[in-house]
Structures are given as C-alpha cells and as structure tokens.
Structure 1
C-alpha cells in the first residue's frame, strides 16, 4: 500500500519562499491525529521541506529518509499567496510553462516526483510506503498513477494535513480520496 501524506499547516512567512516554511507547532495535534490511519511498520520517505519533514517526524518513530525530489512544485517567491488557487489552476492548465514568475513548470514537477516515487517503489515493492509531501506534487502523482487527468477538485479539498492511499499496481482510478 502507498500512503500519501500532505504536510500539516505551515507557519507562513511572506518574506520567505514556501519551501522554507516550518510546520506551525500550534497545529501539531492535527498531524498526530493521522497516526491511527497509518501502518505500524512502513518505509517512510519525506520531502526535504521543513513542514513535510516535521510532519513525518510527528507521525512516526521509524526512520524517515529524505528524498529531495519529493519536494513541492518549486515556487521561489511568496508574492503569489493572494492568488494561489487561480495560479495553481493555471499551472495545471499549461504544465509546460511557468505559471508565475519563479515557478517551476508543472511538467518538470511531475517528471521529478514520478522518477523519485518509481525508484522508491522499485526498492520497497513488498512493503507499505508512506510518502510525506505536498498537495500539488501528490495531485500530479495521483494523475500519473491513475492515468487520469489531474483532479483539481481533489487538490482543492486537501486539508493540512491529509492522507490518501492506493494499492500499488492497482488499475487506474483506484486511488482512494482523502
């Protein structure tokens, strides 16, 4: 089984890019509430972003391997915050171009995340795997795994934190919504 955990609520600092934001400690109990839904023994992998790694560390005492390519869709500024949803939707509509100044093309995110997850699953095919990361990255991953277009309504419903799971090797469409 593959478990996709979206990080908990970050401590937003508009003077820094989102990939530098830490987890907001005031919401740590929201993260811990996911523990009963996760396997007792699994291979744990996390994005290197502080909010994701802190989420993973609140969810398990097991070893957590940092996988640099599980990082979120790169956004090197924070001046997009007020228009976040429309800009992300534009990124999905035109994945081969940057949707905003300083943003990675979403097609690059998809290639990076898919290559990382394929490598993880190849090495851990017989174990449960928990990946801790980000909403946009998990949306492109779910799309690639299912063979379906990205589900932006699923993306919009994601909470911080949230959890989705799928049986690795299932036919397209068998991802379970959060």
Structure 2
C-alpha cells in the first residue's frame, strides 16, 4: 500500500516562494492526528520542501529519505490571486504552463511517477509513505490507478491529508519516457 501524505498547514510568508514555507506550529496537532492512520515499519520518503520534511518528522520517529523529484508542481514565486483557477487550468491543459514560470503539470506527473515507481520497486514487500504536496499527489494517484486526476478531491484536500493507493503486487507501471 502507498500512503501519500499532504503536508500540514504552512506559515504563509508573503514575498517568499511557497517551496520555502515551514509548518505553522499551530497546526502540529492536526499532523499528529494522522500518525495512527499510517503503518508501522513502512519506508518513508519526503519532498525536499521544509513543510513536507517537518510533517514527516512529526509523523515518524524513523528515517525519512528526501527525494527531490517528490517536490510540488513548480510554480515560481509570484503570488497569484486566482490560484485555484490557475491550478485548475493546469489540470485542464497539463502539457502547457498554466502561468508564467510554472512547470507544465505533465512534467510534474512524470517526475513524481518516476520517483514513486522507483520507491515502490525498492520496497515491493512493504508499505511506503510519501510526504509531499496536494497537486503532485493528485496526478500521482491518477497515474498509479489509471484514472483521470480527481480535481474535486484536490479542491477538498486538507492540510494535512492522506490519500491511500493500493498498488498491489500486480500493479504494472507504464514506463515514463518523456521529460
């Protein structure tokens, strides 16, 4: 089983790119509440972003590998007033950047799928917990299940939240050859 944890509530710092935000200590209890829903003895990995690493540290006493490819959909540092509408455009047209400086969502999907596939291959006989981000996990869950990204679920994701994917031993990963 694959457990995709969305990071806890960050401290938003205007003028600082979201990839540098840290967890808001007022939200630590929400993160700790997920602990009982996660498997003991799993392999743990995190995005390199501080809010993801800090979430992982609150959830496990074990080692957590940091994998750069698990970072969120790259969005630059500009503050966007219509953020949700812009992300929805990214889902609608994943092969193009939805905003100046943004990574095409297809590139994010390819990157996180490659990383997750490698992790799952290396830990075929155990559960894996990946701590990261909502958009990246939405496209990854869709890729692993052979479905379209669940945009309604993306809109409803909490900070933190948990998505589980039963990859099973019969799960065949399509090779990713682009990007």
Indicate the TM-score class for this superposition, using the shorter chain for normalisation: over 0.9
Rounded to whole Å, the distance in 2 between the matches of 1:77 and 1:26 is 24
Matched residue SS, 1:130:
strand
Rounded to whole Å, the distance in 1 between the matches of 2:169 and 2:155 is 24
- The residue number in structure 1 matching 2:166 is 167
Rounded to whole Å, the distance in 1 between the matches of 2:12 and 2:169 is 37
Matched residue SS, 1:15:
coil
Residue 54 (structure 1) aligned with residue 54 (structure 2):
yes
- The residue number in structure 2 matching 1:87 is 86
- The residue number in structure 2 matching 1:115 is 114
Greater CA drift, 142-151 or 129-138: 142-151
Please, which runs of 5 or more residues in structure 1 have no aligned partner? 173-178
- The residue number in structure 1 matching 2:39 is 39
- Normalising by the residue count of structure 2, what TM-score does the alignment of the two structures yield? 0.92
Q: CA RMSD in A?
A: 1.3
1:59-104 superposed Cα distances (whole Å, 9 cap, x missing partner): 0000000010000000111311x21110000001111111011111
Residue 22 (structure 1) aligned with residue 22 (structure 2):
yes
- The residue number in structure 1 matching 2:126 is 127
Detail structure 1 runs of 4+ shifted over 6 Å in the superposition.
none
- The residue number in structure 2 matching 1:70 is 70
- The residue number in structure 1 matching 2:11 is 11
Number of aligned residues: 171
Q: Retained in 2: the 8 A contact 1:44–1:63?
A: yes
